[in-house]
Structures are given as structure tokens and as C-alpha cells.
């Protein structure tokens, strides 16, 4: 035992300080690693924002205590000030002058606002994830509005702690809002229309829509405008104010689209047989859905044919799938009609004359008058030379 005391006595004060400093540094590294690995587990048990505040706050407090320990250890700060300093007077000054107290309230308020914003975010995401009526874009907009509201209230509270007069600030903000509102009426209208579109949900990103004679796929929806990519590869930005006041055609709202192709069959053909052949041919097309099943309707008596409407559905509608399905259906129906001898007639015209005038006659082997010409004379068509009996040399046979 005496040998142990003798060995400890041989260790210098400098060696002890170095040993303690190294121990504090290692403990800081251990705390940082523990915080980094323990934060995900802590987030599983409580809101992410609260877990972040606890981890950051705990690490900050430990770093401050470790730093103070090292300062006292190396006598950068004299330990006698702890006992000689008038702490009661310091507390009175902090409370009366509000310097340290204001800083503390500011930090606490901002921390609470951060935690509240995180809680609102998780609550909104949890609520919208259980309902299909909210899209991801709508969820993000609601989260941002809630977080901004929380931070605005926290900012107003902090200004109140520092004795900032909010009356003048509110008056200035109101006057500025009037000026901005008058200068940016169209932008504000688009903003309001954007919120209306967010809740009415006439379309979502990826839908095939037609707006203001512009047809394409919706690629982005913001609170100011809507961007669609046309089938020509062009990107069109449409203000939400225009979108809200226009007729919107959504071709992929329910995930499927009905297409129709017209085909004419000869009047002499069996219409029922032609309809069955067309229906069977459409059922064999890969892009045409079997449920709902294809159908054929008789639409009208055309000039040259009886017009049949070939109706079928496609899944996950897009422009490429639409034209591919139409092409396949037209080819399959044409092949089926040709195989069974059903004629798809060309446009035809039938000429007839009145009975009281002798009906329709073709002028042959006789002179036909064409009537007066532009110069006031008479224009006639002469029979061929062989019918008139003329020779090539101008004589008569």
C-alpha cells in the first residue's frame, strides 16, 4: 500500500491534468457517437423534432460542462470566483434587466416552436396517409402552411420579449400588403386559385389533361401555376387563375380511358355479323381491356355505308397507348372484315333523272349543246369525225 502511494506521489500534477483532459475528450467523442446512434431509436418513440431537441440540447449541455471542467482544470478560470461571486446579485440583475432572461426565453421559445412544427408535420402526414383524398403535393402544402404559422407566432412572441412594438410593424405590414396586393393582383389570384385546386383536386401529377386547348401530361403543380408537357415535347406553364376558370378534361382520372373508332360497312352486308366480327377482333387486341368489354353500336346511315362505332377501353391512358390501341384495333377489324368478305365501301354517289323528262340520259352519237359561252355565242360539242363521216383531208366519205 505504501508503494502505491509512493507511485502516485511520483506522478506530476501536469500528468494528472493531461490524463483528465484526455478522458474528457474521449468522453465527448463517446457522447457524440451515442447521440448519433441513439437518435434514430429515440425518434421511433417520440416526434422527430422533440428527439432532435433532446439530443442537441443534451450534447450542448455536456459540451459546456466539459469545456468548463477543462477551463477550471488548467486554471484558465479561477475556482475561487464560485465562492466569492455574489450570485444573488447576478440573479437579480438578470431578472431586472431581462438580458439573460430574454435570451433564455428566446431560446426556449424557438425550441418549442421547432418541436411544435415537427409535431404538426408528423400529425398531418399521419392523417393524410390514411386517406386517399390527399395527394403528396397537398400534404406538403398543408405541412408548410402549419409550420410557417407556428414560426410566425414564435417570432411575434420573441419580439414581444425584447420589447419590440408590434403595432407599427403590423401597420407597416398591412400597408405593404395593400401595395403588394394592388401591384400583384394576378399573382395573388393565381395563389388563391392554387389553394382552390389543391383542395378540389381536378387532376394530379402524371394525369393526362386538356386545359385551354393545351393537352399533355401534368408534370408540376405549384400554388402559382401548373406545368404540363405536351405530346410534342413542349412544356407549357398555365397560371392557376386560368386553370381555375377553364374547362378541364382529365383523361386519366379513373386510370382508364374509353376510345371509339368509326367504321362503315356496305348496305348489302349483314350488320349483326359485322358487329360480332368487330367485337371479336377488338377482344384480341392486347391494349384493349376485356373488362369493360368492347362493344359495337350502330351510329348512323352514312352516304355510302352503315357507320358502326367500335368502343373499347385502355388501361393507364397515355397518348402513345391511345394511338397504338387505335392502330391495332383498326388493323384487326379490317383484317377480320376482309377474311369474311364484309366490304368497307368507298364514298359513292348515285345519279338519277326525273321520270317526266325521260330519266337520266347520256349524250352519245349526237350533238350536245352546252349553252351560251362567255362571249355571248353558242358552244357545242361536235361528234367524232368518224360519226360525222369526215375524212382526214377535210372531205366527206
pLDDT in tens, 167-205: 766 677 676 767 666 666 666 666 677 777 776 778 888
Q: Is residue 217 part of a domain?
A: yes
Q: Is residue 280 part of a domain?
A: yes
CATH number of the domain enclosing 232: 2.30.30.60
Tell me: do 329 and 378 sit in the same domain: no
What are the tens digits of pLDDT across the range 42-61?
777 777 777 777 778 788 88
| 318 or 198: which leads in pLDDT | 318
- 75-84, 103-112, 150-159, 384-393 — which is least confidently predicted? 384-393
| 365 or 169: which leads in pLDDT | 169
DSSP characters over 198-253:
HHH-S--TT-EEEETTEEEEEEEE-SSEEEEEETTS-EEEEEHHHHHTS-EEETTT
**Residue 64: predicted pLDDT:** 82
Number of domain units in the chain? 3
Tell me: do 246 and 275 sit in the same domain: no
Domain boundary among 190, 219, 250: 250
Tell me: do 264 and 297 sit in the same domain: yes
Q: Is residue 215 part of a domain?
A: yes
- Confidence at 160, pLDDT banded by 50, 70, 90: confident
Tell me: do 272 and 244 sit in the same domain: no
- 41-55, 127-141, 303-317 — which is least confidently predicted? 127-141
Domain boundary among 229, 250, 271: 250
Task: Give the torsion sign (CA, 380, 386, 392, 395).
Answer: negative
Tell me: do 283 and 242 sit in the same domain: no
Q: Is residue 303 part of a domain?
A: yes
- Domain of residue 242: give its range: 202-250
pLDDT of 396 > 60? The answer is no
pLDDT of 96 > 60? The answer is no
Q: Is residue 111 part of a domain?
A: no
Residue in the structure block whose three cell numbers are 464560485: 82
Tell me: do 228 and 270 sit in the same domain: no
Burial class of residue 116, CB neighbours in 10 A (0-12, 13-18, 19+): buried
For residue 311, give the nearest of 271, 266, 262 by alpha carbon. Answer: 262
DSSP characters over 276-335:
HHHHHHHHT-TTB-SSSPPEEEEEEE-SSSEEEEEEEEEES--HHHHHHHHHHHHHHHHH
Q: Is residue 71 part of a domain?
A: no
CATH number of the domain enclosing 302: 3.30.70.100
pLDDT of 331 > 90? The answer is yes
Tell me: do 219 and 261 sit in the same domain: no
Query: C-alpha cell of 82?
Result: 464560485
Q: Is residue 216 part of a domain?
A: yes
Q: Is residue 315 part of a domain?
A: yes
**Residue 119: predicted pLDDT:** 80
The C-alpha angle 208, 210, 211, rounded to 5 degrees, equals 130
Query: Rounded to an integer, what is the distance from CA 25 to the centroid of its chain?
Result: 50
Tell me: do 235 and 220 sit in the same domain: yes
- 30-39, 70-79, 204-213, 265-274 — which is least confidently predicted? 70-79
Tell me: do 210 and 245 sit in the same domain: yes
What are the tens digits of pLDDT across the range 10-31?
455 566 778 778 888 888 888 8
Amino acid at each position: 500500500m505504501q508503494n502505491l502511494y509512493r507511485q502516485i506521489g511520483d506522478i506530476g500534477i501536469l500528468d494528472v491534468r493531461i490524463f483528465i483532459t484526455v478522458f474528457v475528450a474521449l468522453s465527448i467523442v463517446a457522447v457524440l457517437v451515442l447521440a448519433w446512434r441513439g437518435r434514430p431509436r429515440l425518434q421511433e418513440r417520440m416526434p422527430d423534432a422533440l428527439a432532435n431537441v433532446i439530443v442537441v440540447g443534451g450534447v450542448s449541455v455536456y459540451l459546456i460542462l466539459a469545456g468548463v471542467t477543462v477551463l477550471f482544470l488548467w486554471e484558465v478560470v479561477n475556482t475561487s470566483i464560485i465562492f466569492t461571486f455574489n450570485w444573488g446579485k447576478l440573479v437579480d440583475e438578470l431578472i431586472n434587466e431581462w438580458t439573460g432572461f430574454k435570451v433564455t426565453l428566446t431560446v426556449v421559445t424557438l425550441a418549442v416552436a421547432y418541436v411544435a412544427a415537427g409535431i404538426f408535420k408528423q400529425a398531418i402526414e399521419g392523417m393524410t396517409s390514411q386517406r386517399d383524398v390527399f395527394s403528396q403535393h397537398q400534404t406538403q402544402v398543408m405541412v408548410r402552411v402549419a409550420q410557417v404559422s407556428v414560426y410566425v407566432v414564435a417570432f411575434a412572441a420573441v419580439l414581444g420579449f425584447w420589447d419590440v412594438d408590434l403595432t407599427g410593424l403590423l401597420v407597416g405590414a398591412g400597408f405593404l400588403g395593400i401595395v403588394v396586393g394592388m401591384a400583384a393582383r394576378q399573382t395573388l389570384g393565381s395563389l388563391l386559385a392554387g389553394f382552390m385546386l389543391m383542395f378540389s383536386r381536378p387532376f394530379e401529377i402524371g394525369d393526362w389533361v386538356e386545359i385551354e386547348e393545351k393537352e399533355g401530361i401534368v408534370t408540376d403543380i405549384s400554388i402559382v401555376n401548373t406545368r404540363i408537357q405536351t405530346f410534342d415535347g413542349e412544356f407549357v406553364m398555365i397560371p392557376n387563375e386560368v386553370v381555375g376558370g377553364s374547362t378541364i378534361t382529365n383523361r386519366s382520372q379513373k386510370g382508364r380511358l374509353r376510345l371509339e373508332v368509326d367504321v362503315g360497312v356496305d348496305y348489302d352486308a349483314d350488320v349483326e355479323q359485322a358487329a360480332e366480327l368487330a367485337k371479336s377482333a377488338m377482344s384480341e387486341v392486347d391494349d384493349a381491356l376485356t373488362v369493360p368489354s368492347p362493344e359495337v353500336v350502330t351510329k348512323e346511315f352514312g352516304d355510302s355505308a352503315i357507320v358502326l362505332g367500335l368502343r373499347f377501353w385502355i388501361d393507364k391512358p397515355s397518348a402513345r397507348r391511345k394511338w397504338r390501341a387505335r392502330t391495332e384495333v383498326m388493323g384487326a377489324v379490317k383484317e377480320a372484315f376482309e377474311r369474311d368478305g364484309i366490304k368497307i365501301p368507298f364514298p359513292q354517289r348515285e345519279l338519277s333523272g326525273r321520270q317526266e323528262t325521260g330519266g337520266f340520259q347520256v349524250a352519245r352519237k349526237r350533238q350536245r349543246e352546252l349553252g351560251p359561252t362567255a362571249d355571248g355565242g353558242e358552244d357545242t360539242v361536235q361528234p367524232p369525225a368518224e360519226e360525222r363521216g369526215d375524212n382526214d383531208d377535210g372531205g366527206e366519205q
